[in-house]
Amino acid sequence: MTTSLPATVSYLATVCDWYSSHARDLPWRHADATPWSILVSEVMLQQTPVSRVLPAHAAWLRRWPEPAALAAASAADAVRQWDRLGYPRRAVRLHASAVLMTTRYGGHVPATADQLRSLPGVGAYTAAAVASFAFGERQAVLDTNVRRVLARLVIGAARPAPALTVAERQLAERLLPAGGALAARWSVGIMELGALVCTAARPRCDHCPLAGRCAWVRLGRPAAPSRRPAPGYHGSDRHCRGHLLAVLRGAAGPVPAATLEAAWPEAAQRARALGGLIDDGLVTRGADGSLALPGDAERASATS
């Protein structure tokens, strides 16, 4: 399979023109979007669809319009506000990031990818995305959609490797325009193309502006090797974790261990899920065995 890059410049022009006409109107893409809004959106969008993120993002920014506002709240407040968005560790880490931004960066979102990676839970992708979209730093932004589009367009594969490879990053760097602002436009355009047209399950190649130059289309759109289906949610450890967290979110403070024991019938699974929640910093256990969201026990003691 070839990784040559014919007509690279026309890729850029075509994608940017298409994006100008087809981009969704998302608040974190507005010209007046703050770096904080962009960071919150990137954290929320990890493994969560845009339709669910939109109302959660708006509510979060209404409550905490800047990092210092969230830092002044508790991690428990962040978990409650996160509600059922999924993967609630993101809320705890976003709170910890807000505290760090307030103490180390003067209440501002740091402006470089290297600095952003110092924030709790901010990995290479999120750091690159925020540095690019909020600050115009030239970064290759490689989310699932971008990786899939480049795999099809240049390599001719139906989907990329399970994990990001060195070759993929090198390809993305070679395609990246020289200027930071144009690089951000290219990245968000490819991302949107993957989200709306070059989708994983039902790609709309007849609507794709790059179909005439796509290696995957030229090869007859070969199918990807089958993968083991993801396990279901109902009855899983994730389901149990979410159920236990819902009990704690609905409580005003610490609850007795018996309350959680009554909330999920399978003892071994409940213990495993609870242990994971404690290890992840989402639940604390008091000396009396009571359980609470992080910060709730201290707040209850201060008001008693």
Residue 228 has pLDDT above 80, yes or no: no
CATH number, span 237-303: 1.10.10.10
Q: What is the pLDDT of residues 57-74, one digit of tens each?
A: 999 999 999 999 999 999
Predicted pLDDT of residue 123:
94
Taking only the tens place, the pLDDT of each residue in 99-145 is 999 999 999 999 999 999 999 989 999 999 999 999 999 999 999 99
Residues 6 or more apart from 200 whose CB is under 8 A from it?
Answer: 144, 148, 159
Pairing verdict, β 284-285 and 291-292: antiparallel
* DSSP secondary structure string for all residues of 275-296: HHHHHTTS-EE-TTS-EESTTH
> How many whole angstroms from its chain centre is CA 268?
31
Spatial distance between the Cα atoms of 163 and 124, rounded to a whole number of angstroms = 13
Is 42 an annotated catalytic residue? yes
b/e 175-212 (16+ beta carbons within 10 angstroms → b): bbbeebeebbbbbbbbbbbbbbbbeeeebeeeebbbbe
- Rounded Cα gap, residues 208 and 214, in angstroms: 9
Mean pLDDT of 219-226: 86
Residue 286: pLDDT band (50, 70, 90) is: confident
Catalytic residue among 42, 137, 168, 192: 42
d(CA 18, CA 5): 20
- Return left, alpha or beta for 138; rule: phi > 0 is left, psi -120 to 50 is alpha, else beta: beta
Which has more pLDDT, 47 or 129?
Answer: 129
Q: What backbone torsions phi and psi does residue 152 show, to the nearest 5 degrees? A: -75, -45
